C-alpha cells in the first residue's frame, strides 16, 4: 500500500502563506498524478491542484489559481503546495492523493476524488484573524 504523509498545515492570518508537503513511499507507476484536495467541515472534498509525474504538467482549481503553486521534488517523492494570499475560505483539511494512468491532457477533467487511489491522512489549514 502506498503511504502518503502531508505536513505543513497550521494557523495563518488572511493574506498569509503556508507550504504543504506530501511525502510518498517509494513506488513505480507510469503516468501517475499527485493531487491536492481539501475538505471543509460539512462540505464535499474538492480538488485543488495536481501535477503529473510524466512532464510536470499542472492543474489548478479556479478558486486557487494565481495564489497556489504545486511543485514536485524530482530527487525525492515529495510534492509541495505553496499557498499564498490565503483566505478564510481556504480553511480545510488538505489531503494529498495519487492517481494512476492519468495523462497530462486529462488533468482538468480527472481532478475527482474517485479518480485517486491513494490518500494521505490530511493536514489542517486554518486561515483566521
Gyration radius (Cα) of the chain, Å:
14
Is residue 28 very low, low, confident or very high in pLDDT (cuts 50, 70, 90)? low
Contacts for 35 with CB less than 8 Å, ≥ 6 apart: 47, 48, 49, 50, 51, 96, 97, 98, 99, 111, 116
If you average pLDDT over every residue of the chain, what do you get?
92
Residue 73 CB contacts under 8 Å (≥ 6 apart), including other chains:
79, 80
pLDDT band at 32 (very low <50, low <70, confident <90, very high): confident
Identify the residue with better confidence: 25 or 18: 18
Residue 119 is predicted with a pLDDT of: 96
Burial of 29 (0-12, 13-18, 19+ CB in 10 A): middle
- The pLDDT, as a whole number, for residue 68 is 98
Q: What is the pLDDT of residues 67-111, one digit of tens each?
A: 999 998 876 689 999 999 999 999 999 999 999 878 888 888 999
State the Cα–Cα distance between residues 54 and 64, nearest whole angstrom. Answer: 23
Q: Among candidates 83, 35, 75, 86, which has minimal Cα distance to 57?
A: 35
Return the pLDDT at 63.
97
Question: Tens of pLDDT along 36-47?
Answer: 999 999 999 999
Residue 30 has a pLDDT of 64
Amino acid at each position: 500500500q502506498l503511504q502518503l504523509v502531508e505536513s505543513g498545515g497550521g494557523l495563518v492570518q488572511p493574506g498569509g502563506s503556508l507550504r504543504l508537503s506530501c511525502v510518498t513511499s517509494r513506488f513505480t507507476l507510469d503516468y501517475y498524478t499527485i493531487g491536492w484536495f481539501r475538505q471543509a467541515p460539512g462540505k464535499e472534498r474538492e480538488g485543488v491542484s495536481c501535477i503529473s509525474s510524466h512532464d510536470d504538467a499542472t492543474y489548478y482549481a479556479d478558486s486557487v489559481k494565481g495564489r497556489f503553486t504545486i511543485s514536485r521534488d524530482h530527487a525525492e517523492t515529495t510534492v509541495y503546495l505553496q499557498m499564498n494570499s490565503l483566505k478564510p475560505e481556504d480553511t480545510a483539511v488538505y489531503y494529498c492523493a495519487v492517481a494512476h494512468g492519468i495523462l497530462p491532457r486529462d488533468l482538468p477533467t480527472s481532478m475527482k476524488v474517485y479518480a485517486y487511489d491513494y490518500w494521505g491522512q490530511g493536514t489542517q489549514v486554518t486561515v483566521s484573524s
